[in-house]
Amino acid sequence: MSHLRKKFTANVLKHRSRFRRFLTRVENNPPKQLDTYAIIIDKEVWQETDCLECANCCRTMTPTYTFKDLQRISKHLDMTIGQFKEKWLYKDKTGDWMNVNTPCQFLDLKTNMCSIYEVRPADCAGFPHLTKKKMTDYIHVHKQNVQHCPATFKMVEKLMEKIKNGTGILVEQDAPYK
């Protein structure tokens, strides 16, 4: 495991429950400028984050494959959709197509690069979905991703700091986040 991922894992263990409580409070009592904060923080996070240093999402999670993903990827691999599904996917309880194993079969474990990057699933292309939808509509996803993705972790960290510094109304005066 790389030094970056070891450090990230230690930080997750230390802060995960506090971050999730914070996100629940944001969800229940969102600051008026929450979506504006998210856009600003998103830009900051991506200036500090290099996914190729980590690839933890590809190592620990599986994308959901849409029908368009299946068409595009199987064509790229010169396979039928049926062959692609049979070789690498399973259908979960909700009917979504997912990777059978993690890490992802398309991840090069030495370089952290995706062998099908140009045709990767839409779920991968949009991950970690920091500004995909209104913040309050996607907090449940951020609660999950905070333990898998350093970019999501940084986003929550920065959001906590922004709100704590008086730019938001979330933190009660007698109970600041520490």
Determine the Cα–Cα distance for residues 45 and 138; give it in Å rounded to an integer: 17
Whole domain around residue 35: which residue ranges? 3-58+129-167
How many domains is the chain built from?
Answer: 1
14 inside domain:
yes
Say if 107 falls within a structural domain: no
**Angle, alpha carbons 4-178-54 (nearest 5°):** 15
Q: Using CA atoms, how far apart are residues 147 and 41, in angstroms rounded to an integer?
A: 18
Element (H, E) at 67: helix 67-76
Tens digit of each residue's pLDDT (9 = 90 or more) over 18-54: 999 999 999 999 988 899 999 999 999 999 999 999 9
Cis check: omega of the bond before 103, within 30 degrees of 0 = yes
Pairwise CA distance, residues 52 & 114, whole Å: 9
The per-residue DSSP string of 102-131 comes to SS-TTEETTTTEETTGGG--HHHHHTT-TT
147 lies in some domain: yes
pLDDT in tens, 127-148: 998 887 788 888 999 999 999 9
Structure tokens at 86: 């049979």
pLDDT digits (tens, 9 = 90+) for 65-122: 999 999 999 999 999 999 999 999 999 999 999 999 999 999 999 999 999 999 999 9
Residues near 178 by beta carbon (within 8 Å), at least 6 away in sequence:
none
Two tokens, residue 52 = 């190729």
Confirm whether 155 is domain-assigned: yes
In single-letter form, the type of residue at position 42 comes to D
Which residues, 6+ apart, have CB-to-CB distance to 39 below 8 Å? 131
Residue 93 is assigned to a structural domain of this protein: no
